[in-house]
């Protein structure tokens, strides 16, 4: 069983829409939850980081973690064409195993 | 501004060649990583290093080796390149190996092995 599942998309939405990106995970030991954004032909960059269950907001972005369901989400409000990228969730258990990445969701925001 | 620099954006090599991919970070980070990224397979960890001259195998180390002679430099070596090693290679560095680790990635090297 894969440890982190993420729908690869592509997910195409019109500009201004609310976007929901999701990951599920299987290992209840995971403690740290991150979202990376990767533009075409670039390396990933950290977008959001959260430790506990609940919501964390940063501008138009909200990261949500539900540890009981082993489900994490990234919401983008008022989406812009510049948000078009691949979004990777990354989860860490706090031990020496490092990060486990989802495969990424390719998001397209249509002008 | 933090920076992880990979020496080449694009490389074309022939089967059987020895290939060196170089990565340099200017943030004085202890930990450095090499990933490969393939469509449908996502990011996969090849090797990582938490100190000079130290190295640890990741999930897919076969066919690769690494070298870390200086803190800022981490090299990935393909001893005898094969076509199934055609991929995007990403180097990253971070401050800590455990806990809330933040990875800084380079822009990647697209390697084609013919």
Give me the DSSP letters along chain A: --SEEE----EEEETT--EEEEEEE--TT--EEEEEEE-TTS--EEEEEE-SSEEEEETTEEEEEETTTTEEEEEESS--GGG-EEEEEEEE-SSSS-EEE---EEEEEE-
Residue B99: predicted pLDDT: 56
Percent with pLDDT over 90 in chain A: 72
Q: Round to whole Å and give the CA distance between B67 and B75.
A: 5
Does the pLDDT value for residue A98 go beyond 80? no
Across the interface, do B107 and A42 touch by the CB < 8 Å criterion? yes
Please, which pLDDT band fits residue A15 given cuts at 50, 70 and 90? Answer: very high
| Mutation site for A-interface testing, chosen from B2, B37, B40, B41 by largest number of A Cβ within 10 Å | B37
Residue B69: predicted pLDDT: 95
Which of B63, B113, B59 has the alpha carbon at shortest distance from B88? B113
Does the pLDDT value for residue B2 go beyond 90? no
Q: Round to whole Å and give the CA distance between B18 and B35.
A: 18
Residue A31: predicted pLDDT: 82
More confident residue, B28 or B85: B85
Query: Taking every pair of C-alpha atoms in chain A, what is the biggest distance, in angstroms?
Result: 43
More confident residue, B49 or A31: B49
Q: Indicate the residue of B48, B99, B105 with minimum beta-carbon distance to A43.
A: B105
Please, which pLDDT band fits residue A52 given cuts at 50, 70 and 90? Answer: confident
Backbone angles phi, psi at B83, to 5 degrees: -60, -30
Mean pLDDT computed over every residue of chain A? 91
Please, which pLDDT band fits residue A77 given cuts at 50, 70 and 90? Answer: very high
Does the pLDDT value for residue B87 go beyond 90? yes
Which of B24, B48, B50 has the alpha carbon at shortest distance from B36? B48
| Mutation site for A-interface testing, chosen from B96, B100, B104 by largest number of A Cβ within 10 Å | B100
Does the pLDDT value for residue A94 go beyond 60? no
Q: Round to whole Å and give the CA distance between B58 and A73.
A: 27
Residue A103: predicted pLDDT: 94
Q: Round to whole Å and give the CA distance between B78 and A19.
A: 40
- Give pLDDT tens digits for B14-27: 999 999 999 999 99
Residue A53: predicted pLDDT: 82
Residue B55: predicted pLDDT: 94
- Give pLDDT tens digits for A21-34: 999 999 888 888 99
Mean pLDDT computed over every residue of chain B? 92
């Amino acid at each position: 069983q894969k440890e982190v599942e993420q729908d690869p998309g592509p997910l195409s939405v019109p500009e201004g829409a609310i976007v929901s990106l999701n990951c599920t995970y299987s290992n209840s030991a995971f403690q740290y939850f991150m979202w990376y954004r990767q533009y075409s032909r670039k390396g990933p960059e950290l977008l959001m980081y959260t430790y506990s269950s609940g919501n964390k907001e940063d501008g138009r972005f909200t990261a949500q973690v539900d540890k009981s369901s082993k489900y994490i989400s990234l919401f983008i409000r008022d989406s812009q064409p510049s948000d078009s990228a691949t979004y990777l969730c990354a989860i860490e258990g706090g031990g020496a195993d490092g990060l486990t990445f989802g495969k990424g969701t390719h998001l397209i925001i249509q002008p | 501004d933090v920076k992880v620099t990979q020496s080449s954006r694009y490389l074309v090599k022939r089967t059987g060649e020895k290939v060196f991919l170089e990565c340099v970070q200017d943030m004085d980070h202890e930990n450095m990583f090499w990933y490969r990224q393939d469509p449908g397979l996502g990011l996969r960890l090849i090797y990582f290093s938490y100190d000079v001259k130290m190295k640890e195998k990741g999930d897919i180390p076969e066919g690769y080796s690494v070298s870390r002679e200086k803190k800022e430099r981490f090299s990935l070596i393909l001893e005898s390149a094969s076509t199934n090693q055609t991929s995007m290679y990403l180097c990253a560095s971070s401050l800590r190996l455990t806990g809330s680790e933040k990875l800084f990635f380079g822009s990647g090297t697209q390697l084609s092995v013919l």
